[in-house]
Amino acid sequence: MKLVLFDCDGTLVDSAGLIHEVMRHSFMAFGKPEPAFETTKSIIGLTLDIAIARMDGKPHADDEAVAMAAHYKSIFRDVRETSGFGETMFDGMRAVLDTLIARDDILLGAVTGKSRRGLEIILEGHGLKERFLFNRTADDCPSKPHPAMVAECCAEAGIAPRETIVIGDAIYDMQMAKAAGATAIGVSWGYADVDNLWKAGADAVVTQPADLLAYIH
């Protein structure tokens, strides 16, 4: 039995446009310059207050970053519904998930810097909520790259980290997986530079979703 844990943004779905649009509104609401799209992409995967602090050039999440994170959450649904942005699954990912779901030796889960509600919206929207049994979010654990998300999913599933595969597009995913003792597989279609995934400890980096199956097998 293996546990396969997917990051969400940049791995399962392409949500960078939506995240950036909400960030843009949040920064302007606090009288700050609009962030560059590349800056937003660089923090996707981190817990929200930490991500905002880094975008604002701060080493830690201070009271202002926490307030901005609260504002981000408060406007997220409205921006999502009115902006035209969404969370489209990457081409080929659905076929990979369907293959894994059909196997009785694979358990699926998600480890994400999103809120639990944010994750559930995406899983429900793609008909996956009942298939992703072991999930940890920013509401449950310290921010990546802390290994708690992986460790807690492993404990809940009763599967050792050495039998667990973490799939993600960010250096934080790779670092988290290795810190937990799991296999780290990076994906090239997300928001991080491939060289940085290798430097962060990736055991493999794939260029298309179908390639994941060989490593999971």
pLDDT in tens, 180-213: 999 999 999 999 999 999 999 999 999 999 999 9
d(CA 60, CA 175): 19
Torsions phi, psi of 172, nearest 5?
-65, -35
Q: Which of 30, 57, 83 marks a domain boundary?
A: 83
Q: Which of 55, 83, 111 marks a domain boundary?
A: 83
10 with 20, same domain? Answer: no
134 with 157, same domain? Answer: yes
Please state whether the peptide bond connecting residue 145 to the residue before it is cis, i.e. omega within 30 degrees of 0. Answer: yes
10 with 110, same domain? Answer: yes
150 with 203, same domain? Answer: yes
DSSP state of 207: S
- What's the pLDDT score for residue 84? 86
- What's the pLDDT score for residue 86? 87
If one compares 102 and 83, the residue with the highest pLDDT of the two is 102
133 with 207, same domain? Answer: yes
Query: Domain range for residue 41?
Result: 16-83
Please give the distance of CA 210 from its chain centroid, rounded to a whole number: 19
125 with 189, same domain? Answer: yes
- What's the pLDDT score for residue 203? 98
Mean pLDDT along residues 106-124: 96
115 with 40, same domain? Answer: no
DSSP state of 36: P
Contacts of 176 (CB under 8 A, 6+ apart): 111, 144, 145, 146, 147, 149, 150, 166, 168
105 with 183, same domain? Answer: yes
d(CA 20, CA 190): 14
75 with 94, same domain? Answer: no
- What's the pLDDT score for residue 217? 79
175 with 113, same domain? Answer: yes
41 with 121, same domain? Answer: no
Please state whether the peptide bond connecting residue 35 to the residue before it is cis, i.e. omega within 30 degrees of 0. Answer: no
Number of domains forming the structure of the chain: 2
- pLDDT tens digits, 139-191: 999 999 999 999 999 999 999 999 999 999 999 999 999 999 999 999 999 99
Bridge partners of 107, per DSSP, are 3
- pLDDT tens digits, 2-20: 999 999 999 999 999 999 9
Q: Which of 59, 83, 107 marks a domain boundary?
A: 83
- pLDDT tens digits, 30-79: 999 999 999 999 999 999 999 999 999 999 999 999 999 999 999 999 99
110 with 204, same domain? Answer: yes
Closest of 84, 82, 22 to residue 51, by C-alpha: 22
Contacts of 130 (CB under 8 A, 6+ apart): none
Contact 51, 44 (CB under 8 A): yes
- What's the pLDDT score for residue 52? 97
